[in-house]
Amino acid sequence: MEHKNRTEATLLEDALNMQWLKEQKYEYAWIQCLSSVYIGPLSDIKELDEEELLEARFFHGEAEIHVFPYDDSFKAIKTEKQSDDVELIRNSDDIYGILKEGKGDYFEERQILRKGGTITLRHYLDCDNDGLARVSATVLCGYEGGHK
C-alpha cells in the first residue's frame, strides 16, 4: 500500500550526491552500510560509498529523502511536510494533493540513542478500509547530540 505523504521520486543521483543534499538544506543523515552505521550532521559526510550502502535517510524538520534497496539497485523517495493543512504527494506513478486536518495526521516521538543524543521520528497516520487508524509511514525529522 502506497503511503499518502510520500512525495516525488527524487532522482537517485541527486539523493546520493552530498553537495546536492547540502544545497537543498538537508541537515542530518542516517546511513547504514555493510560495515558501519552513521547518524549525525550531513556536513560531516564528504561522499557516500555506494558499494557499502544498504540504506540511507537524509532529513531536516520538514522533509526526508529515503534511499533503499529496490530490485537490483536503489530507489529514493522524498516525504515532505508542506504545511499544517496540506500535504503534496508525489511518487513515480501519480501526483495529487490531499487536504489534511491540521496536525491530527501525524505525531512525533523523540528517542534516546545509545551513543548519546536523540532522534525525532514523525509517524504519519491514516485510516484503513474499516476506519481504524494506523501508522502508514515513519520518517526522521530531527536530531540532537553526539554522532557516529
Q: How far is CA 8 from the centre of its chain?
A: 12
Give the pLDDT score at 75: 87
Share of the chain above pLDDT 70, in %: 75
Q: Report pTM.
A: 0.76
Phi, psi of 20 (to 5 degrees): -60, -45
Q: What is the pLDDT of the chain when averaged over all its residues? A: 79
Q: pLDDT by residue (tens digit) across 68-106?
A: 998 888 888 888 875 555 444 444 333 333 333 344 588
Residues contacting 94, CB < 8 A, separation 6+: none
* Top mean-pLDDT range of 25-39, 63-77, 121-135: 25-39
Q: Number of C-alpha atoms within 13 angstroms, CB side, residue 29?
A: 25
Q: Is the pLDDT of residue 148 over 50?
A: no
- Strand-strand pairing, 63-70 and 73-80: antiparallel
Q: pLDDT by residue (tens digit) across 38-57?
A: 999 999 998 889 899 999 99
